[in-house]
Structure 1
Amino acid sequence: MNGPVYYLSVRWTHAASSVAVNGVPLVVDAAGGGIATDVPINLWLPPGENELSVFLRWPTHAPYEAGVAAGEAHAYLHDPSADVPTPALTLARFEWPPPVGPEVYPFTIRLPMPIKEPPPSEVWDQAEVLKELSEADRGALESLAADLIGALRAGDAPRAFDLQEYKWRETARAEYKDFERVRKAGLEQLEWLAQRPGLRAEPLSTEDLVFDLAAGGRVALVTRSDARSPVLLEDDEGLVFELPIYAARLKGRWTLVR
């Protein structure tokens, strides 16, 4: 099965930036050193209203200079005839600097992103819609991150995959891929990671965790206070690995969904 594929293109220089889809930061350049990337966003587009948001601030290490910062955030429908991400239809687009008026930092804008044909997904119908997270919710989310860390440190790639199976099924569904092929590739990645020499994890601290709701209250995001993932690992070669924690409450149980 084939269907529409959506991308977010971000090009930015001389400004620290965070670009989010439905409240989920997908492209972040916290230092403002410059970024150029195209990321698929099918997993983050539910039926109904969607939103592109951009946050800019001047880099803390550089004196302000007018007219230097430039860039754009562009969400679009991909042209299926192209081999590389290519816009066929713009969903939302924001360019910097503004055509009129002075540059102002920090700056935030939210743009509607209408989508006629959202990608297939089950989580948007199955996830409980929450207005806030209770202490029990926060504890369950922290435990989910700890379980994933524990499986990887124990070299138990199948267990790490099982914790993320819903996520992988959703990935296959939203990106029109065969689940068994996605499963095989995902398991191979986890096996490689779990066998890294001297794999160790940055300790989890409840006080250091930040919890947010996004996607209309359907998805919880968990990060450390410095915006890094709770699942933060490093091996003896100095390679650092992060696995994001995006979870939803499905029939009362917190599950990794993205």
Structure 2
Amino acid sequence: MISKAAPSPPIKADVRDLSFSFGQTQVLNSLTLPVAERRITALIGPSGCGKTTFLRCLNRMHDLQPAARYGGDITLYPDKINLLDPAVDPIEIRMRIGMVFQKPNPFPKSIAENVAYGLTIRGIRDRAVLEERTVQALRDAALWEEVKDRLRGPATALSGGQQQRLCIARTLATNPEILLFDEPTSALDPVATAKIEELMTTLKQKVTIVVVTHNMQQAARVSDFTAFMFLGKLIEFDHTDAIFTNPSNKLTEEYVTGRFG
């Protein structure tokens, strides 16, 4: 049973009866939860439970698959638009809701060109604007001091942790309203992981964050709210402290204590 606990307003996105399928395969079943503005919501659960599928529904990444089918609504505030409405342009959604993937994926371009990529796609050509937004994004991603003297150098020469922060900067440059993180530290060492976690905590002052993680300690450290999923269903949603110290569902308790999954 899902907890009745909900974030205090404001709500950035309201997910109602979200279902998703690939062809005849049902992946998500009637998920309902709020996403609090400028807070971190963690999605936890065993592999294959639908966490990443849910995450990708938020910015319509599944539209690239012709057999994909959505059900329900995802209302984005304050506009009150349904992100799943076929009339809503998914490209525009992805500008407003950015995504950082499991493995760093810098483009084979310079550091500066990587960060400015989304801006140039939007048609921004003013060099002063591009430079200003690039510098600010690198600062927001806590990477500026490490790369300010080699902005024209190849992004692929950065370390794994730096590459992931570069990908975060690239996403931040377009001023997204929501940031989606899909296992953002699973390919990183503990030092780089700590930097990303610290960065996420800082970023939530400016942007709403939803993160998929298999790391229970990470979810407990960085998130304000946690959703536990199992077999495509939302089992429990609550404040993170409640999920990890006093879950209302026995399945949740067994998962967070390591007795299954």
TM-score by length of 2: 0.27
Larger Rg: 1
Judging by fraction of residues, say which structure has more strand. Answer: 1
Higher relative contact order (CA 8 A, sep 6+): 2
TM-score by length of 1: 0.27
